[in-house]
Structure 1
């Protein structure tokens, strides 16, 4: 995840220097060497999260941590933040001036039972008795984070220019809608957009095989 994030940043921004922290020293050193060679940039392994976050334009938390890794004390004016899951500490949200989010939640079925004991929502299916044993909570769509008081901008409106992002160079922005507008409201869009592009180009090039719609339909009840 950290590799793909940095490669994406470098594709749209002129990244010159990168700092990286991992609790595992070998991992951060290896990552720095790999990214230097892959992107022809300067990459420095750091000994603490605070050292890695100091004087940076983009702060990206690419971890599988089940606890906060980004805190308000790390934020600086003009910084842009990204997170993979739920790595922003509660004290980060009041510091954000603008955040991409507010789109439809990935939890599209109202009242659907899901289990998020591991930190990731998982749909539960089965008989009433099985669901009762699983004790999966029935959750509505996520509501706006009460700690966030900034502007909420949808990704679609930002791309089309209907809504501005940062209004000044000192504003702090974040590109994750997790726990802000709709839970995971920008999560997975990269797969949709890239998949659509690949599909369109494949069709234009006459590649692939078209599958009959009848293969996916039936007129009997199983």
Structure 2
């Protein structure tokens, strides 16, 4: 007779104490390498509701070498007007449940790590100037992770609210070696930047693609909606375009969809998935003057990779509460 499987429940506070931003980058890079070598992953599915207003989102990945598989699910809005994240992790060999994570606190860290993997794969090695458009939690996660893969001397941040961008600059100056400055426009941030990160909730482009310097890299992570975009058509047309998952490009990569609608690119202009570049299956940057874009809409690749890292650390530290799951052969036997 099958026996109950014991899994570990980890709270958001417990997760926050288990790893620093830099600790997420290597596991996420390995997750994308596995994806580039054929590991299964599916883009997000989002269901929208009108009354009460809200959305339910989920996505899946199997990382055989990491030894984990799972699906990140979150609900946002509805009557509570808030968001809640859950992440079940299963053993990729046995299928047994390993952990259930309250996934809120890890979200900007695993997403930041995916952005850092994109920067590492596509940005010039000598990049020293970083521009960030946005000053919220996700922007913080992106910048702190990106600073682990490039030695930035200067970081310029722009967001529409002056207090927000100034607070961001003050906080990052305390946490990073680079000089961080708030600037008065997105153009001021982007001009001269070697790496540009957009982490906003904007529906329209947040800078003019003509301003991008030759050789710059752009990571766009703030929008995953077919009718919303952070990057303009000029940026997409100029760039070598790399998404996290090719299958999501025509579903929710609004910047690329808009550029297709304008007739300047088509699906053949998707250069490669990030995992294919990380795994060496496809080229990344091929010249110092090339403009590159990583379109990061969010996948379960980084989520499962990060979740497994957190689970392993929790087991080692003796953190978390053990919970039991009954196998289907027992739970569904008609009792």
State if a TM-score over 0.5 links the two structures.
yes
Match of 2:185 in 1: 48
Q: 1:16 to 1:152 in 2, by over 3 A?
A: same
Q: Which moved more, 1:1-10 or 1:94-103?
A: 94-103
1:91 Cα deviation (Å)?
A: 2.5
1:96 Cα deviation (Å)?
A: 0.7
Q: Which runs of 5+ in 1 are unaligned?
A: 109-115, 121-141, 178-183
Match of 2:293 among 152, 174, 188: 174
Q: How does 1:55-70 map to 2 (within 5 A)?
A: 55-70=192-207
Instruction: Identify the structure with the greater strand proportion.
Output: 2
Match of 2:310 among 175, 192, 198: 198
With CA pairs under 8 Å and 6+ residues apart, which has the higher RCO, 1 or 2?
A: 2
Q: 1:173 to 1:217 in 2, by over 3 A?
A: farther
1:11 lines up with 2:152 in the alignment: no
1:216 Cα deviation (Å)?
A: 10
The two structures, once aligned, show a CA RMSD in angstroms of 3.4
Equivalent residue pairs, number: 184
1:154 lines up with 2:273 in the alignment: yes
Match of 2:232 in 1: 89
How far apart in 1 are the matches of 2:316 and 2:162?
47
Instruction: Identify the structure with the greater helix proportion.
Output: 2
Contact 1:96 1:148 in 2 (8 A): no
How far apart in 1 are the matches of 2:155 and 2:230?
20
User: Partner of 1:199: helix, strand, or coil?
Assistant: helix
Match of 1:124 in 2: none
1:11 Cα deviation (Å)?
A: 1.3
1:206 Cα deviation (Å)?
A: 6.2
How far apart in 1 are the matches of 2:240 and 2:247?
21
1:169 Cα deviation (Å)?
A: 1.1
Contact 1:79 1:171 in 2 (8 A): yes
Residues 86-134 of structure 1 deviation map (CA, whole Å, 9 limit, x = unaligned): 31112221111242344333999xxxxxxx9xx99xxxxxxxxxxxxxx
Task: Name the TM-score, length of structure 1 as normaliser.
Answer: 0.69
Q: How does 1:5-154 map to 2 (within 5 A)?
A: 5-83=142-220, 84-85=222-223, 86-105=229-248, 146=260, 147-148=264-265, 150=269, 152-154=271-273
